[in-house]
Structure 1
Amino acid sequence: MARIYDLVKDRRVYSCDADQTVVEAARFMMEHNIGAVPVLRNGELVGMFSERDIMNRVVAVVSEVMTANPRSVSVDESVDECLFLMREFGFRHLPICEGKQLRGVISLRDVMLRSAKENPGAQRIAV
């Protein structure tokens, strides 16, 4: 069974600081073509900030509009469990942590592409 971390271990981990402005975080996300970014304070994961958060409030610091205390998965989590969590809670992005250390971010798109590669003849999965 594939570990979830194996899907992202070779990627650079992008994050922003909780005290950055929404504009700074949005510009960073646009520059790196990402839809969500983990939010760190003193190197520890404190939230997730996404395009949807931007739509809620434009002039604020990230910590005021982020999803606080986000659910995360361990580096050893299975792809199937991550898909379950995404479906169950409506997440499109999950931080991957080892203890309190952020190691990566997995997106619903990553999981679906992996599933399509492993099961090319399978029907589409409804998420």
Structure 2
Amino acid sequence: MKSISEIVQDRPLYAASPEMSVEDAARQMAENKIGAVPVVSENRLVGIFSERDVVTRVIARGLDPKKTIIKEVMTTKIVVAQSDETYDSCLTKMQKAHCRHLPVVSGDKLIGMVSLRDLLQIDLDEKERSLEYLESYIYTIPPGAAKRYKQE
């Protein structure tokens, strides 16, 4: 199984500034088809801003997305994945934290983001490969061969 750093290494990393408006951040997320952005200040991860934050902390409170800046509504209790962590470890972290996105760090450096959807797609791809392998194995056994092996 790949480490998380291998999963995010070839992907673009989009980030937002704490001073960015919610409207601009939401537009960036929509344009890049992402559900969350890490919030970075002076090369330091200071929060994460997600679609859920837009709904629960901006729209539901009646705030104006044009006038509201991210640092006022971002999630600051950040759960991160270390670059050498496994898929299973990240899924467990997401489950415990009730979150769908994890910033991926190597030491103090932000290197990417991974989503629950990313991890589930990897799991599905691996299961499909295993199924294809098993099907090819099953269909290449000559007729009667399984019976012969059983009798021996």
- Output the TM-score relative to the length of structure 2: 0.76
Partner of 2:53: 53
Equivalent position SS for 1:119: helix
Equivalent position SS for 2:78: coil
Partner of 2:142: none
Equivalent position SS for 2:5: helix
Sequence identity percentage: 40
Could you give the per-residue CA deviations for residues 76-106 of structure 1, whole angstroms, max 9, x where no partner exists? 0111100111112111000001122110000
Could you give the per-residue CA deviations for residues 33-83 of structure 1, whole angstroms, max 9, x where no partner exists? 111000000111100000111112143110111100411111101111001
Q: Is the 8 A contact 2:79 2:93 kept in 1?
A: no
Please provide the CA RMSD for this pair: 1.1
- Would you tell me which structure has more strand in proportion to its own residues? 1
Partner of 1:80: 88
**CA–CA distance in structure 2, aligned partners of residues 8 and 54 of structure 1:** 25
Unaligned runs of 5+ residues in structure 2 are 132-152
Unaligned runs of 5+ residues in structure 1 are 122-127
Look up the equivalent residue of 1:72 and give its one-letter code: V
Q: Which runs of structure 1 show a deviation greater than 6 angstroms over 4 or more consecutive aligned residues?
A: none
Q: 2:121 aligns with which of 107, 113, 126?
A: 113
**CA–CA distance in structure 1, aligned partners of residues 44 and 13 of structure 2:** 13
1:2 is displaced (CA, Å) by: 2.0
- Output the TM-score relative to the length of structure 1: 0.90
Partner of 1:62: 70
- Would you tell me which structure has more helix in proportion to its own residues? 2
1:5 is displaced (CA, Å) by: 1.3
Partner of 1:125: none
Look up the equivalent residue of 2:16 and give its one-letter code: C
Which of these two proteins has the greater Rg computed from alpha carbons? 2
Task: Describe how 1:23-42 pairs up with structure 2 within 5 A.
Answer: 23-42=23-42
Partner of 1:93: 101
**CA–CA distance in structure 2, aligned partners of residues 27 and 33 of structure 1:** 10
Q: Is the 8 A contact 2:49 2:75 kept in 1?
A: yes
